[in-house]
Amino acid sequence: MSAENFMSFRYLFSKTNFNLVSIISRFSIFVLIIAYFSFLTILSVFSGLEDYSLNFSKSFDPDIKIEPKSGEYLYYDNAIDSTLSGYGEKIIVGKVIKGNVVVRYDEKTIYAQVLGVDEAFNKIINIDSIITIGRNPLGNSSEVLTSYGLASSLGLILYNPSGIFEAFSINPNYPEKTFNPIRSSQSFVSSGVFKARNEINSNIIIADINKVRDLLGLKNNTYSELIIKAENSEKEAVSLQKKLLNYKVKSHSELNETLYKIMNSEKVVVSLIMMLIVFISTFNVIASTVMLIVEKEKDIKTLETLGMSKKSIKSMFFKHNFLINIIGGLIGILISLGAVFIQKSFSIFKIPGIDAPYPISIVFSNIIIVIITLIISGLFSGYVSSLILRKLK
Rounded CA gap, 364 and 50, in Å?
15
Inter-helix orientation angle 19-57/310-346, to 10°: 40
User: Measured between alpha carbons, how far is residue 115 from residues 66, 125, 162, 258, 378 in Å?
Assistant: 16, 13, 23, 24, 58
Asked whether the CA dihedral 39, 43, 46, 52 is positive or negative, the reply is negative
Please answer whether residues 170 and 100 qualify as being in contact, where contact means their C-beta atoms are separated by less than 8 angstroms.
yes
Please answer whether residues 147 and 195 qualify as being in contact, where contact means their C-beta atoms are separated by less than 8 angstroms.
yes
Rounded CA gap, 319 and 292, in Å?
13
Task: Report pLDDT for 67.
Answer: 96
Q: How many residues does the chain have?
A: 393
Task: Report pLDDT for 127.
Answer: 87
Residues 6 or more apart whose CB falls under 8 angstroms from that of 293 comprise 300, 317, 385, 388, 389, 392
- Alpha carbon 348 to chain centroid, angstroms: 21
For the question of whether the overall pTM of this predicted structure is more than 0.85, the answer is no
Please answer whether residues 375 and 277 qualify as being in contact, where contact means their C-beta atoms are separated by less than 8 angstroms.
no
Residues 6 or more apart whose CB falls under 8 angstroms from that of 175 comprise 181
Task: Report pLDDT for 177.
Answer: 46
Rounded CA gap, 158 and 193, in Å?
9
Residue type at position 209: I
Please answer whether residues 114 and 99 qualify as being in contact, where contact means their C-beta atoms are separated by less than 8 angstroms.
yes
Mean pLDDT, each 10-residue run in order, the chain (393 residues): 55 55 78 95 91 79 94 92 92 94 90 94 89 83 90 84 85 54 82 78 88 91 95 91 94 87 88 92 83 72 69 77 90 96 90 79 94 93 78 56
